[in-house]
Amino acid sequence: MSEEFSGYKGEALKAIKKAEAEIGDIIRITNNSEAYEGILIPRSEYGDERHIILKLKSGYNIGVRITSSTKIEKIGKGAKPTFKPPPLVKQIAELPKVAIISTGGTIASRVDYRTGAVRPALTASDLYSVVPELATIAQIDAQILFSLFSENITPKHWTQIAEFVAKQITDDVEGVVIAHGTDTLGYTAAALSFALQNLPVPVILVGSQRSADRPSSDAATNLIGAVTAAAKAPFAEVALAMHETPSDTAIAIHRGTKVRKCHTSRRDTFKSINTTPIARIQDQKITMLTEDYKKRDSKRKLALKPAFDEKVALIKFYPGMNPTIINWHIENGYKGIILEGTGLGHVSKYCFDAIKNAVNSNIIVAMTSQCIWGRINMNVYDSGRDLLALGVIPLEDILPETATVKLMWIFGQTNDIAEVKKLLKTNIASEFSQRTFSEET
């Protein structure tokens, strides 16, 4: 099969050939009364024989089922996006130096309509061609570390990112930007918050919800916000820069341990949970929203602690959950379990024996809440008190995702159970917020 039809087979391939269409062409598919127009793009190697994938004008892709009555017409050659040749940007020597590291994801890519392949576009000159404003904010050194969709980022990658960031933090770099897919951006932000301690400069993660080839793309504004923060922000912490609202007016800077992806498609998907963002950027102007942050200090010496241990599980409780799943983790050498319990930090009494087993096997069992917002309090009801008595560790208002990352990180530092417990309860990277009145209302 030629590359032109990559992924298509059977009926779908037959129909495409009959229409004399190729990957990249604009085609119209008519199924009874419904018609779809879009660019024919390649399909997954796991694909069946009955669907054709179109990139619609909106930028989204859909799969259209081919039946005996389906009509396919080729209505045009795909409009190949022409990327301007990179302008001859002269780096302005007075501007701060910012290192940009790409790990992949939507923000780091543009779609090649010819093949449908996603291409990383993060050499400095590519970036300047897509976002020319960057040249007025900073001198950029762009490097590609990986090209991964972020659902494929694992704790091993967190280690590699942390080590790579540490290498970029030299005497004359004012900040680091990490381009990353949004799916697990919150997890990586938490991971780097623990792995990169005592930072001299800001480390800003950034993603985008719509690729640069879509009219509604947030890639450029997010990137400008991230580079602005890296170059000029007064704080030296791991943070995440994304749209604050659905419109393009403001970028919110969220603390790495307190942020979560809260919408599948909106541009303002990331929210600071149980706290406010630490800063807002509008028109390249940074407004700090808290006074409680670690100040930038180029003389501070980074403490790199990049190890993570994957023998930590996140288990979300639900009615009817089989507690044997906890025993499975004991038998499979797990060192820690983060429970995503209900309400103030509960799971069913049917899980108590399994939890007791885990604690007796020297496994750390700690509690967070699937409510997402609010603080757990295991002293209010019997279930909570019983769980505390069994040895479950209550984790205040930490996100379940951050708790999981933190426990992986702790076991990367030590296997001494007393030390693990102590670190788990210690506020290392602002993962616990101060108790406020409003959370009680």
Judge whether 335 counts as a catalytic residue.
Answer: no
Q: Which stretch binds a copy of itself (CB under 8 A): 47-55, 168-176, 195-203, 299-307?
A: 47-55
Residues 255-314 that bind a copy of itself (CB under 8 A): 261-267, 269, 308, 310, 312-314
Residues 349-408 that bind a copy of itself (CB under 8 A): 349-350, 352, 369-377, 379-383, 385-386, 388-390, 401, 404-405, 408
Catalytic residue, chosen from 25, 97, 103, 183, is 183
Decide: 374 and 156 in contact? Cβ < 8 Å.
no
**Gyration radius of the chain over CA positions:** 24
Pick 95 or 321: Cβ nearer a copy of itself: 321
Pick 184 or 221: Cβ nearer a copy of itself: 184
Closest CA to 54 of 62, 43, 44: 62
Task: Report residue 14 as tokens.
Answer: 């037959």
CB of 379 to a copy of itself, least distance (A): 4
Residues 180-239 that bind a copy of itself (CB under 8 A): 181-184, 187-188, 216
SS3 241: strand
Rounded Cα distance, 236 and 4, in Å: 49
Rounded Cα distance, 52 and 13, in Å: 9
Judge whether 183 counts as a catalytic residue.
Answer: yes
- The binding track of 315-344 with respect to a copy of itself, each residue x by CB under 8 A or -, is xxxxxxxx-xx--x---x-------xxxxx
Q: Which stretch binds a copy of itself (CB under 8 A): 43-51, 74-82, 172-180, 280-288?
A: 43-51
Q: Within 10 Å of residue 357's Cβ, how many Cβ atoms?
A: 17
Cα atoms in the 13 Å half-sphere on the side-chain side of 239: 33
Question: Is 43 among the residues that bind a copy of itself (CB under 8 A)?
Answer: yes
Residue in 13, 62, 250, 302 binding a copy of itself, rule: CB under 8 A: 62
Decide: 140 and 100 in contact? Cβ < 8 Å.
yes
CB of 337 to a copy of itself, least distance (A): 12
Pick 196 or 231: Cβ nearer a copy of itself: 196
Give, in order, the Cα–Cα distances in Å from 57 to each of 40, 70, 209, 213: 12, 21, 17, 11
CB of 388 to a copy of itself, least distance (A): 7
Rounded Cα distance, 81 and 213, in Å: 8
Rounded Cα distance, 52 and 39, in Å: 10
Pick 291 or 382: Cβ nearer a copy of itself: 382
Task: Report residue 200 as tokens.
Answer: 């001299």
Residues 117-156 that bind a copy of itself (CB under 8 A): 118, 149-155
Closest CA to 308 of 400, 203, 413, 424: 413
Judge whether 414 counts as a catalytic residue.
Answer: no
Rounded Cα distance, 133 and 108, in Å: 17
Question: Is 417 among the residues that bind a copy of itself (CB under 8 A)?
Answer: no
Question: Is 101 among the residues that bind a copy of itself (CB under 8 A)?
Answer: no
Rounded Cα distance, 403 and 258, in Å: 10
Strand partners for 142: 100
SS3 63: strand
Pick 168 or 182: Cβ nearer a copy of itself: 182
Catalytic residue, chosen from 25, 103, 106, 257, is 106
CB of 436 to a copy of itself, least distance (A): 11
Pick 95 or 371: Cβ nearer a copy of itself: 371
Catalytic residue, chosen from 55, 232, 261, 406, is 261
CB of 55 to a copy of itself, least distance (A): 9
Nearest 5°: the CA angle 78, 82, 83 is: 140
Catalytic residue, chosen from 182, 257, 269, 402, is 182
Rounded Cα distance, 190 and 400, in Å: 11
Active site residues: 106, 182-183, 261
